[in-house]
Amino acid sequence: MDEALRERTGDHRFDILVNNAGIGQIVTLEETTEESFDEVMNINIKAPLFVTQQALPRLKDGGRIINISSFVTRVASPSVFAYSMSKGAIDTLTHILAQQLGSRNITVNAIQPGIINTEMNDETLKDPNGQKFAAGLSTFKRWGESEDVADIAAFLASSDSRWVIGQLKAFQSSLLLFLQKIDISLTFFSFTFECLLYSSFDALNPFTGLNFTVRLLSALISNLINPGSLAR
């Protein structure tokens, strides 16, 4: 590695590591073999793990590590079983490295793209049904291009991202936006149930619990209408 770096840059140290190599297999759990599983894990998680291990002594303080994950870590996709597991491991690796390297001002983040027009998705995007499926995942009604991912990576590699660390940046497809709404709704009903229990068991002053419930419900409704209002 040192020799290759010197040939390219004249130095054995560098600033930015992008773990981009990966393969995908359309294989269910029932169809997965030990060989196919090992192939995906070796390329998608073992390779970036040990490349990162070798990179750490050579990565300059204040540097950047950018991992390419996938939207399949947020959406259950049984048809890409091993691939989904490998990208879940990348997300975990991102969080661990972010915690470990923060003291060196090295930021570690992951990008979770949807279906991108690359060699890995050739077969999907050649098929009209595949094109329809890929476009339907996006709010923009199109599949992604390499430039869409590259621009996000460029931001994460720049000094502008110095306060961004341990983040999993997802392309906001229609499905992910829908799941976010579900998550907000589940939070809303969970808090509602807990508050009702609280008010029911406040024997000394039942109106205290009821008042708390009303105020919290009002805040949650405001947050549904204007996301982020609770944070303020």
Q: Which amino acid is at 185?
A: S
Q: What is the pLDDT of residues 153-182, one digit of tens each?
A: 999 999 999 999 998 877 655 455 544 444
Q: What is the pLDDT of residues 60-117, one digit of tens each?
A: 999 999 999 998 888 888 989 999 999 999 999 999 999 999 999 999 999 988 888 7
Here the tokens at position 215 are 């105020």
Question: pLDDT category, 212, cuts 50, 70, 90?
Answer: low
Active site residue 198: no
Place of tokens 């002053």: 205
Indicate the SS3 state at residue 40.
Answer: helix
Please give the Cα distance from 106 to 22 (Å, whole number). 23
Is-contact 186 193, C-beta < 8 A? no
Q: Which of 60-64, 118-122, 149-153, 223-227 has the lowest mean pLDDT?
A: 223-227
Please tell me the predicted confidence (pLDDT) of residue 34: 96
Please tell me the predicted confidence (pLDDT) of residue 115: 82
Q: Which of 54-58, 183-187, 208-212 has the lowest mean pLDDT?
A: 183-187
Q: Which of 24-28, 133-137, 140-144 has the lowest mean pLDDT?
A: 133-137
pTM of the model: 0.72
In angstroms, the first-to-last Cα distance of the chain is 48
Q: Which of 27, 55, 66, 83 is catalytic?
A: 83
Q: What's the order of all strands across the beta sheet hosting 14-19? A: 14-19, 59-68, 107-112, 168-170
